[in-house]
Amino acid sequence: MPISLKLPNLDENPILLAETRAHKINEFIQKLPLGDPISAATDLIDELQILNSQKVAFANRFNALELYRPTAIQIYQDLIPHFSSASLPISKTEQAFVDAAMKLWQEFAYGYKFALVDLQNKILNLNNSKSTAQVVQRAIHALKEIALVHHLSYRTPPASLWSEVHQLYFCALQQTAEALPVADQFSVNNTSSVNLIYKQVLLMALTDPQHLANADILKADVYLSNIAEHAELRPLGLIENPAGVFLIALDGNKPPVPFAKNQDIPNDATDILLITVNVARQIHHHIKLLQEGIVPDDGSLPVNARESHYEDLLARLIKNFGKAQQRVFSRIKKSDGVELGVGLMAAYHLLHEDSSTFAQHANTIGEIKPSRWQVLNVSAGGCALRKFSSSQASARIGDVVTMKNSKSKQWELAVLRWAHINDLNQLDVGLELISPSATAVSAKFEKSALEGEALMLPELGSIKQTASIITARGFCKAGDVLRLSVDKSFSIILIKKLVERTARFERFQYSLI
């Protein structure tokens, strides 16, 4: 399989020579405005672009990149908070941080790919396998971070990225370098390998990041880096059970696909298998420990895993590494428009019977005003929508949503399950319907002054769904007693079993007292 990597053109007569002297590079790093991550990133990108535009000896290029890399990672970590918690669509200011992070890693990817080409062109190289392992691991790491930035901004990593990730891994296979240890201070136990970094990219893609809240995307990235060693890469062979088995076409440009869903005949020469059964077992083990009140002391989970409800994320992840999920309902294309209220506060006021109360708040809180969205398709369980460019609405994964079309007389309740920014920069979202109606109530603790908005969902006998209440995340817990008021009527309830927790709300069963 021939290797074809995307690289910028080299300048035969450069005006500025690339700096490769260690002391000069260190002087440059010391002068970077690290307090301003975009400015620091821009300065470093400019320097890398000079390096990536010229012919430089392999050792000089690789050593220069290694000197820049720790500072680049520091700058990158300072860039991430400026866009990783943004609502969608992200603002122009937040997009500037996304672009800086993307360009920074793109230049490192170019640099290490150039180093790989230089290495392959060397006539004599006694440590070819070890050098290949180092360069390929660094190149895949750069592409991994580019993919992560795409995930955090809810865009699909381009096919070209997957093509290069697979080609780089294949190159390591050819040199028998895929399992060689590579020193990396930013990896678990300060050691990585081509195998390990490649598995991290593959596992992250399998989490279906468009269905994760941005905070959970970051958590998943760190967690999977800690347990990626439990995944297995192996050649094609007999498969007794396709659960947890994924096919990778090393000559292709796509992430791994469930083996059971693959419709093409596998190619022994270029296709391999990713086995995630042991990854699922490890996640299950961690879920069990958290349920017992234990946080592993091996660094695989953060020390605050119990307080931050890490178990919720693990429960979702384990589904992605087992049996391939099937759609319950088929989609039907539809051209229509709906009104949408995004968030608990919007739902509370849109559902409130007192229209004057809503009008009063709507004048001061723009977020609760409904917006118009285009319907792309519908199913019995939900729908896919696209935000009109004229709409000022914003949304996040896990938001509770109120929805009403032109034929509806009342607001339906849904949850925003996934989001995607397409190639035309349009925001598409997927909603799951959870109730045909709801009642807005004020919830107050009996023994404190704490009060907040809540939504009461009716019992739905046809689908065996008990009555439940939605509150802001962290507002209450099982065993709490709340006093609910709507208009001039009151009721007292006991909060019981947690039905669902998203990044934005919690839903409980309750009983009247």
Count the domains in the chain.
3
If asked whether residues 349 and 480 sit together in one domain, one would say no
Burial 159-187 (b: 16+ CB within 10 A, else e): eebbbbbbbbbbbbbebebbebebebeeb
pLDDT computed for residue 337 by the predictor: 87
Output the average pLDDT for the chain. 91
Structure tokens at 170: 């294949």
| d(C-alpha 343, C-alpha 151), whole Å | 22
The pLDDT score that the predictor gives to residue 359 is: 43
Tracing tokens 């920014």 back to the chain, one arrives at 421
Within 228-320, residue ranges assigned H as helices are 277-291, 310-320
Do 407 and 490 belong together in one domain?
no
**Local structure of 370: helix, strand or coil:** coil
Mean pLDDT of the region 403-413: 87
Average the pLDDT over 41-64 and give the result: 97
* Cα 66 off chain centre by: 27
Asked if the structure places residue 451 within a domain, the reply is yes
Q: pLDDT tens across 309-332, in order?
A: 999 999 999 999 976 666 556 677
What tokens were used for 416? 């925003």
CATH code of the domain covering residue 426: 2.40.10.220
Question: Is 260 within the bounds of a domain?
Answer: no
Asked if 11 and 144 sit in the same domain, the reply is yes
Same structural domain, 382 and 504? no
Lowest mean pLDDT among 82-86, 238-242, 326-330, 442-446: 326-330
Answer with the residue of higher pLDDT: 465 or 76.
76
- pLDDT tens across 330-364, in order? 677 776 789 999 999 999 999 985 444 444 444 44
In this structure, are 405 and 383 located in the same domain? yes
Q: What is the pLDDT of residues 251-307, one digit of tens each?
A: 999 999 999 887 778 888 999 999 999 999 999 999 999 999 999 988 899 999 998
From the list 72, 54, 47, 65, the residue with the least C-alpha distance to 8 is 54
CA distance 383 to 414: 10
- 57-81 burial, b at 16+ Cβ within 10 Å, e below that, comes to ebebbbbbbebbbebbbebbebbbe
Among the candidates 400, 419, 435, a domain finishes at: 435
Contact indicator for 413, 401 with CB cutoff of 8 Å: yes
Share of the chain above pLDDT 70, in %: 94
Last residue of a domain, one of 156, 174, 206: 206
- DSSP states of 384-431: EEEE-TT----B-TT-EEEEEETT-SS-EEEEEEEEEE-TTS-EEEEE
Spacing of C-alpha 424 from chain mean position:
20
Q: What is the mean pLDDT of residues 21-29?
A: 98
Q: Which domain holds residue 505?
A: 439-512
Both 195 and 72 in one domain: the answer is yes
Is the per-residue pLDDT at 125 higher than 90?
no
Q: Provide φ and ψ at 177, rounded to 5°.
A: -115, 0
Cα distance between residue 207 and residue 316, in whole Å: 8
Same domain, 98 and 126: yes
> How far is residue 26 from each of residues 38, 314, 425, 450, measured CA to CA in Å?
20, 41, 39, 54
Residue 159 lies in a domain: yes
**pTM for the complete prediction?**
0.93
- Residue 463: is its pLDDT beyond 70? yes
Instruction: Answer yes or no: is 311 within a domain.
Output: no
Residue at a domain's end among 412, 435, 458: 435
More confident of the two residues 25 and 365: 25
Regarding whether 21 and 103 lie in a shared domain, the answer is: yes
